[in-house]
Amino acid sequence: MTPAEKIAASKPLRKCREVLNGSPRDYPWTCLVRHARLSLRLSLRDVAASVGMSIAGLSQVERGAETTLRTARKLAVFFGMRLEDLWPALRSTDE
């Protein structure tokens, strides 16, 4: 179980304000962090505290701001994903 799944499992189910329609591939690459967070019904506060970011910083990443490789790796580990899963633009064009 990933750190994100552990936090999600410990919280009561609540209705998300935002509904995600379609698959993550339908979202621009900058939104996959948000998609991962919302699919587990985690708040910005939950994720930011777990990876050592400010809420504002995480919100900016979700909206497309650049981030450091260190922060990107923390987010990937937290969600149990590869960097390429959160930032598909990192994939090589050979795939």
pTM of the model: 0.70
Nearest to 33 by CA among 68, 95, 83: 83
At residue 16, the pLDDT reads 44
Q: Find tokens 């777990």 and name the residue.
A: 50
pLDDT digits (tens, 9 = 90+) for 42-84: 999 999 999 999 999 999 988 888 888 898 889 999 999 888 8
Q: In terms of C-beta density within 10 A (0-12 exposed, 13-18 middle, 19 or more buried), how is residue 28 classed? A: exposed
At residue 92, the pLDDT reads 57
